[in-house]
Copies of this chain bind each other. A is one copy, B any other.
Amino acid sequence: MSTKTLSLKEDYEKLLSSYDTWLFDCDGVLWHGDRLIEGALEVLSYLRSQNRIIDKSIIFVTNNATKSRKSYKGKFDKLGVQAHVDEIFGSAYASAVYLSSVVKLPKDKKVYVIGEKGIEEELEEEGFQHLGGTDPEDNTLAPFKIENFKLDPTVGAVLCGLDTSINYTKYCKAYQYLTRNEGCLFVVTNEDSTYPAGPGILPGGGSILAPLVFSLRRNATAIGKPNQTMLDCIHAKHTFDPARTIMVGDRLETDIEFGKKGGLSTLLVLTGITASSDLDNVKPAQTPDFVTQSLGDLRILANI
């Protein structure tokens, strides 16, 4: 199967009429860091305006794990992008729902967090106590003294996500729980190797996880795109027909694979990680149905 490059107004009109549910990745699609992608705002507004006539719905699906949905909504507000908390699905939220509803971790078990405030907030929403994360005791570059470490036997899961305060103490503690607490679950919000950060690219959640996978010789259960746990999470809250749903994203190995695995159609935009030349050797499982330079290209629909 090959990818269709969209260019004519009729291409975009056909796209609009074929799909009722529009799933959007955010970073690299709607914005870069704190800068909106040109035209993205107008296109989202246009889709919402169509909603009044032909029931279109918009869902934001992000592997961002540093923010809870509530806090991520603040980013939409700041950039002037209309969004409701119920339309936002982040990997921190999906991970907390996974622990609570899928594997049903008992609520008297604690979660050791490598990650930021967003993970903690979503765990709290699901009724879990947590250790690590933003606790000042674990945000230190002081040497980790294993002889002073007290293992908490009630820790039943280690949940790892992007953590820009990552340090050796967190790795050491997570390693202890995963090797010494029997049955301790090992979950990662997402396995993104990198993410676009303003003028450059930085290591992502999957990279933060890597020392644990390497030292434990054990893989974590991954929640975010391309894994279907994220789609299950959306399904639990929204009704949609996969045949009339399209995933719009900038990454072949997360967004596009996620959409295809879930039986959705897929649109690749080139405003993020992926370059046009990356499509030359793309795997079938990551081949988008459609490609366009930028989400802003859809402005042609509204004659903007």
Contacts and interface: CB of A to CB of B under 8 A. Distances in A.
Interface of A: 139-141, 143-144, 146-147, 149, 163-168, 171-172, 175-176, 179, 193-194, 197-204, 206-215, 217
Q: How many copies does the complex hold?
A: 2
A-B pairs, top 10 by smallest CB distance, nearest first, are A210-B210, A207-B211, A203-B215, A210-B214, A207-B215, A146-B200, A164-B168, A207-B214, A141-B165, A210-B211
A199 B147 CA distance: 7
20 contacts: A146-B197, A147-B198, A147-B199, A163-B168, A166-B168, A171-B207, A172-B202, A172-B203, A175-B202, A176-B200, A179-B201, A193-B215, A193-B217, A194-B215, A203-B212, A203-B214, A204-B215, A206-B215, A207-B214, A210-B214
Contacts of A175: 194, 201-203
Nearest to A204: B215
Nearest to A213: B210
Nearest to A191: B214
